[in-house]
């Protein structure tokens, strides 16, 4: 049983002493974090211990036991805010956010949830834009589609026919992505050149989010099952290896440097310095610039009495990672060499980087002369290896299924190619028929087949007589029509303002700014999606705690701010138009 486990299980001492003894024993093994003990503290209420300590004190103890645990920092932040220590609480919340990078479990959880939320936000925003762009042309498309059957087709039948055709791909199993096929065809046939370009951009956003981003999320979801050797090395270096972990590392050590370094650290912890030195020498021949290996190898050389070689290795490690632990270890090596000047300089640099850690290490050094601390492999390297070896194809397909359950969503080329083909087909059709359109003045429907030559000017018959063909027109009738147009325009402006506020992206399309519309749709979808999934798409491994939902809620708030700014810009443009 590791010494820090024995210290945590010790009876007859206060909780504060158990925490301090556990932290000291862990640091002696080179462990900065004892997460199980910290999580135990976080799970208890303030009156759950005989000392009757407060929630704030519990959180502070948890942070001291696991400074790389986001849940501990966030618990401290909430306790400080409850005590109205707002600045200190905000600083603790920032520490919680920064701790995600250093914690393997929490970072993988945030990676999976964050990429999923981003993928869904971009996908839903792109779909919303395509639907809105289609709706702006739906009246003309429904009318022309009905004319293809008969000019006497009722208006309701025309709308029903268009809706049925748009839903055919979705009904055939393509889901939301199938609906986008019909929308893109209509946009290609009736949209302006600018709208078509932005629609093509929306297709790119949709395809990338459904595949590349969803793939990243799925990789993080299945990461721990993708590389058993990395998981075993992680457990061994953190003092929780089982016989199964150790056997796996032994089998992989000859070909896997990560397994070999975990075993080397284990051998060093047993006190067999000669064997550990031999293992580190072999590892440094393969990984000569790894700062953790250089530091640990230097610790072994220092314990064997080779101070010069230890100093050299420490200095090489500092060139790659100038961290407090290595500076402290270098100061101890200079102490052995009786070089007081260099000792003081190295110790000062260590204290500048992490004064609390140096204080704890110095306290250990008082009991164990020339004590030096080992380094474990950093979480970023482990996470990169797990993600690189992870195959999340099946999980990614499950994540995509609500939006793309069919053949069209099977791969990135199929999704992008199919959607762009629909847009291109609609664009090619646009030059082969005379589409109906809205009157340039009053927005009434104008059809070249129904209205004859009067539609060539882009105006309805009434507006044409009012502004173009004024000969022989009764002045009173023209004045009455002008008043009617004025009232209609006033109502239209009210509707446009209402749509600009209520419907994300509508303001940009009304103003003829499709790119602004797309960004507004993406921002609105982001605000909703990040808030809805803030609890995670998988169970929290207890490492993130409240810090994860807070970070995702902040992302939702930022998206909402962007959306509000775009709405304000659209409103201002509508007012000044």
3-class DSSP string for 501-552: HHCCCHHHHHCCCHHHHHHHHHHHHHHHHHHHCCCCCCCCCCCCCCHHHHHH
CA distances from 487 to 202, 463, 482, 490, 572 (A): 36, 14, 9, 5, 21
Q: Give the residue, 436 or 425, on which the prediction is more confident.
A: 425
pLDDT at residue 552 above 60?
yes
pLDDT at residue 209 above 90?
yes
Displacement of CA 73 from its chain's centroid (Å)? 20
Can you tell me the mean pLDDT for 33-37? 89
- Domain spans of the chain, in order of start: 3-102, 106-222+395-435+503-576, 237-374, 436-487
Band the pLDDT of 197: cuts 50, 70, 90.
very high
3-state DSSP of 355-393: HHHHHHHHHHHHHCCCCCCCCCCCHHHHHHHHHHHCCCH
Can you tell me the mean pLDDT for 343-362? 89
pLDDT at residue 191 above 90?
no
Number of Cβ atoms within 10 Å of the Cβ of 460:
22
What is the reported pLDDT for 380? 87
Evaluate whether 298 touches 270 at the Cβ level (below 8 Å). no
What is the reported pLDDT for 463? 62
Can you tell me the mean pLDDT for 95-115? 94
- CA atoms 193, 199, 201, 203: torsion sign: negative
pLDDT at residue 116 above 80?
yes
pTM: 0.87
Which of 153-162, 407-416, 498-507 is predicted most confidently? 407-416
What is the reported pLDDT for 6? 84
Cα separation, 37 vs 43, whole angstroms: 10
pLDDT at residue 98 above 90?
yes
Evaluate whether 540 touches 109 at the Cβ level (below 8 Å). yes
pLDDT at residue 567 above 60?
yes
Can you tell me the mean pLDDT for 173-192? 92
According to DSSP, the β-strands at 445-446 and 437-438 are antiparallel
pLDDT at residue 195 above 70?
yes
Written as six digits, the tokens of 532 are: 């809805």
Evaluate whether 308 touches 391 at the Cβ level (below 8 Å). no
Number of Cβ atoms within 10 Å of the Cβ of 472:
6
Q: What is the pLDDT of residues 428-485, one digit of tens each?
A: 887 676 676 666 555 566 666 565 555 555 555 556 655 555 554 556 666 676 677 6
Cα separation, 419 vs 423, whole angstroms: 6
Cα separation, 202 vs 200, whole angstroms: 5
For residue 46, give the DSSP letter: T
In the numeric block, the tokens 């032994």 are attached to: 250
Written as six digits, the tokens of 254 are: 């000859």
Does residue 445 sit in helix, strand or coil?
strand
- Of 48-57, 135-144, 255-264, 325-334, the least confident: 48-57
Written as six digits, the tokens of 71 are: 């849940």
Written as six digits, the tokens of 514 are: 């499709």
- As a CATH number, domain 237-374 is 1.25.40.10
What is the reported pLDDT for 370? 73
Band the pLDDT of 30: cuts 50, 70, 90.
confident
Burial of residue 491 (number of CB atoms within 10 Å: 0-12, 13-18, 19+): exposed
Q: Measured over all CA atoms, what is the biggest interatomic distance in the chain, rounded to whole angstroms?
A: 113
Can you tell me the mean pLDDT for 85-104? 94
For residue 224, give the DSSP letter: G
Q: What is the pLDDT of residues 494-507, one digit of tens each?
A: 777 787 778 888 88
Residues in a beta bridge with 446? 437
Cα separation, 543 vs 234, whole angstroms: 15
What is the reported pLDDT for 242? 86
What is the reported pLDDT for 553? 95
Q: Among the residues of 409-451, which ranges form H helices?
A: 412-430
In the numeric block, the tokens 């912890």 are attached to: 269
Can you tell me the mean pLDDT for 84-91? 93
Cα separation, 442 vs 486, whole angstroms: 9
Can you tell me the mean pLDDT for 381-396? 87
Helix, strand counts (H, E) of the chain: 29, 2
Band the pLDDT of 78: cuts 50, 70, 90.
very high
Cα separation, 213 vs 415, whole angstroms: 14
Average pLDDT, the chain: 86
Cα separation, 425 vs 219, whole angstroms: 36
3-state DSSP of 153-220: CCHHHHHHHHHHHHHHHHHHHHHHHHHHHHHHHHHHHHCCHHHHHHHHHHHHHHHHHHHHHHHHHHHH
Give CB contacts under 8 A, 24+ apart, made by 229-233.
229/256, 229/258, 229/259, 230/258, 230/382, 230/385, 230/386, 230/389, 232/259, 232/262, 233/258, 233/259, 233/261, 233/262, 233/377, 233/382
What is the reported pLDDT for 451? 57
- Of 84-98, 141-155, 221-235, the least confident: 141-155
Written as six digits, the tokens of 292 are: 């953790």
Band the pLDDT of 7: cuts 50, 70, 90.
confident
What is the reported pLDDT for 350? 92
Residues in a beta bridge with 437? 446
């Amino acid at each position: 049983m590791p010494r820090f486990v024995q210290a945590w299980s010790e009876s007859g001492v206060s909780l504060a002493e158990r925490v301090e003894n556990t932290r000291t024993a862990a640091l002696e093994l080179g462990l900065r974090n004892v997460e199980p003990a910290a999580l135990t503290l976080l799970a208890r209420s303030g009156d759950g211990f005989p000392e009757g300590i407060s929630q704030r004190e519990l959180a502070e103890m948890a942070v001291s036991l696991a400074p790389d645990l986001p849940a501990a920092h966030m618990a401290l932040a909430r306790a400080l805010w409850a005590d109205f220590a707002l600045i200190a609480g905000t600083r603790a919340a920032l520490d919680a956010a920064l701790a995600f990078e250093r914690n393997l479990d929490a970072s993988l959880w945030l990676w999976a949830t964050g990429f999923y939320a981003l993928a869904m936000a971009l996908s839903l925003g792109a779909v919303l834009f395509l639907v809105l762009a289609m709706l702006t042309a739906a009246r003309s498309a429904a009318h022309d589609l009905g004319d293809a059957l008969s000019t006497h087709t009722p208006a309701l039948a025309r709308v029903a026919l268009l809706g049925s055709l748009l839903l055919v791909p979705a009904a055939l199993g393509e889901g939301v992505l199938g609906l986008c096929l019909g929308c893109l065809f209509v946009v290609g046939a009736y949209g302006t050149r600018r709208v078509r370009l932005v629609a093509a951009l929306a297709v790119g956003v949709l395809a990338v989010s459904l595949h590349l981003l969803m793939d990243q999320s799925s990789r993080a979801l299945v990461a721990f099952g993708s590389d058993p050797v990395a998981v075993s090395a992680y457990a061994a270096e953190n003092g929780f290896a089982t016989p199964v972990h150790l056997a796996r590392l032994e089998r992989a050590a000859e070909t896997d440097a990560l397994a070999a370094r975990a075993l080397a650290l284990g051998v060093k912890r047993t006190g067999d310095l000669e064997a550990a030195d031999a293992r580190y020498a072999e590892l440094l021949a393969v990984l000569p610039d790894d700062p953790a290996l250089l530091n640990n190898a230097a610790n072994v050389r220092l314990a064997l009495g080779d101070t010069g070689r230890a100093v050299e290795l420490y200095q090489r490690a500092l060139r790659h990672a100038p961290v407090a632990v290595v500076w402290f270890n270098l100061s101890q090596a200079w102490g052995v060499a009786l070089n007081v000047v260099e000792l003081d300089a190295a110790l000062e640099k260590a204290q500048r980087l992490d004064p609390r850690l140096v204080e704890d290490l110095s306290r250990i050094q008082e009991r164990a002369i020339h004590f030096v601390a080992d380094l474990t492999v950093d979480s970023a390297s482990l996470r990169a290896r797990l993600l690189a070896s992870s195959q999340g194809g099946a999980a990614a397909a499950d994540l995509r299924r609500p939006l793309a359950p069919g053949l069209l969503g099977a791969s990135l080329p199929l999704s992008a190619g199919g959607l762009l083909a629909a847009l291109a087909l609609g664009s090619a059709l646009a030059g082969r028929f005379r589409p109906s359109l809205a009157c340039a003045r009053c927005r009434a429907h104008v059809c070249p087949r129904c209205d004859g030559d009067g539609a060539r000017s882009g105006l309805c018959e009434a507006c044409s007589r009012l502004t173009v063909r004024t000969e022989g027109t009764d002045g009173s009738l023209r004045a009455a029509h002008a008043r009617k147009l004025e009232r209609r325009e006033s109502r239209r402006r009210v509707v446009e303002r209402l749509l600009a506020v209520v419907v994300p992206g509508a303001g940009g399309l009304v103003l003829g700014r499709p790119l602004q519309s797309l960004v507004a749709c993406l921002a609105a979808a982001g605000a909703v999606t990040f808030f809805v999934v803030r609890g995670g798409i998988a169970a929290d491994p207890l490492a993130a705690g409240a810090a994860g939902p807070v970070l995702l809620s902040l992302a939702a708030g930022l998206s909402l701010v962007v959306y509000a700014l775009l709405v304000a810009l659209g409103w201002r443009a509508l007012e000044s138009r």
